[in-house]
Structure formats: C-alpha cells, structure tokens
Structure 1
Amino acid sequence: MKRYLQAFTLFVSGIVLMFLHFEVLLRFEFPDVPWRLFVYGALLEESLKFVFALITLRLGAIPLTIAFIGLGYGFGEQLTHFWFPNGTASLITPWMHAIAGVAMAVMFDRAVRLKSKRYYAFALIIPLLIHAFYNQFLAILLWWYTT
C-alpha cells in the first residue's frame, strides 16, 4: 500500500510542480532568449523535476516511483494546453514527460543501488536531452507546416 500511496502522491506533486512552474513563468517576464525552447522548456522543467525528485529521494522515496513526478508533470502540462488553447498543443507531451521521468527514475535507482554519484548526473542529463530533442523536433515540425 505504501508504494501506491507514494506513487499517487508523487503524481499529484508533479501536477502541482508544473503549475508552480507555469505560475512563475506567468508572473515574471523572462527575456526572449534565442534558445528559449531549451532554456525554458528542457532546462528549467527538468531541473525542477530533478531537484524535487532528489529531495523526495532523500526523504525516503522509492527510486522507481520517481517516474510518477514526470507523469504528473506531463498531465498538468496537458491540462494547461486544454485550458489555454491559444498556443500549440501536443497530445504526446505526457508521453515525453513519462519517458523522461522513467529515465530519471532508472538513473536514481542505479545511483542508489550502485552507490555511484555519476548516475545522479545522468538522472539530470538524460531527461534533459530527451526533452530538448522533443522540443526541437516540435519546432522543426511547426516550421515545416507553417512555411
């Protein structure tokens, strides 16, 4: 029962984390940097999930349930696409966040089991690369179909 409750709690906290991220981006005007798909999308989102996952892991979470943070985050992001339909939305966003969350959870699990600090770095780098490639792929598709 503990694992189910932990997975549900991390799923809900992933949704809350996404809305906190969304609220920060709405309240503070960030400059329009050339690499905003990477900076505001991949780097900021995956760093927030990584820090939150690291804190929950240190508090005693089971490493493989950390994937539910990414799943909840993707679900929350999908909710914002339905609430604010003025932007481009994607139905595969939750899947990308789930895959990045699973990659992060596997790396955290290896870091705990093997007691190796390099897997903590991989837990940030691999989801960050997945998210960056996903954002770049969407940007190329958007450019292709709008030109």
Structure 2
Amino acid sequence: MSLSQQRRFPRRRTSVGASRDFVTGVLIEWQLHSLIEDIELCVSELATNALLHGAPPGREFSVGLHRVEELVRLEVRDSGPGQPVVQCPDDDACSGRGLRLVRALADDFGINDHIVGKTVWLVFKAPAAPAPAPAPLTTPGSS
C-alpha cells in the first residue's frame, strides 16, 4: 500500500496552523491516530523554520505526507537558500531547539538539497494493523 498527499502553503503565520490541520486530517483519513501528536508537533517546527528561514517573500512552502507499508514520511520543502543545522542552544535561549526536537521524535531524519531550495524529511514507524481475530475452533459433532 502506498498513499501520498501534499499541499502548498503561502508564506504567512497562519500557514503553520493550516499545515497542522492538513497533516491531522490526512492521518485521521489513514487511521493513524497514534501518530497525530508527534507529527503535528514536527510539522509545526518545520513549517515555522520554512517561514522564518526558507521561503522567500512571495513564495510558498509545501508539506507532504507519504505512507508506504508501516512507514510515514513527512516532508517540508521550501525554495530558500541555506542548510538547516541542528543546534545546541543554551538553557535560557528562546529558540534553536526545533530540529533537535523533531530528530528525537522521528525514527529517521534528513535533508535533501535541490537546485532551488531543500526538503527536510522525517520518517515515523506506523503501528502495525491489528491481525484479524482467528475463527473460533469447532470440534466435530459440536453445534
């Protein structure tokens, strides 16, 4: 099974909440309720980074969710220059923890450079679908 959904968002503060709503809707549709909280938090961090550091004025960023078997991949792509860096902020710093947080929540993490822009991606392991209940056993002569 392979599923995929993607949406573009304008470079506006309201796009962070809209990207959370988008991934929540997709995960509900795919019946992956246990992943909603982590993926919502991660898309918030990545969309905020795209707005602050990645998407130039007048441009958009995109959010994609892809499911292949038991893996869900979250992608946030922007058209800006630069490479995101995982930081080690001081305890009293007000920012700089986003990539460290998403790396801790995800099962895998990476950045793909493009001719224009980059894609930051995270992979989450989806819970396996429950196995169907076995048929009740019957013995010969019972009814």
What range describes the TM-score normalised by the shorter chain of this pair? 0.3 to 0.5
- TM-score normalised by the chain length of structure 2: 0.34
- TM-score normalised by the chain length of structure 1: 0.33
Please identify which structure carries the higher helix content. 1
Q: Which of the pair has more CA radius of gyration?
A: 2
Between the two structures, name the one with larger relative contact order (CA 8 Å, sep ≥ 6).
Answer: 1
Please identify which structure carries the higher strand content. 2
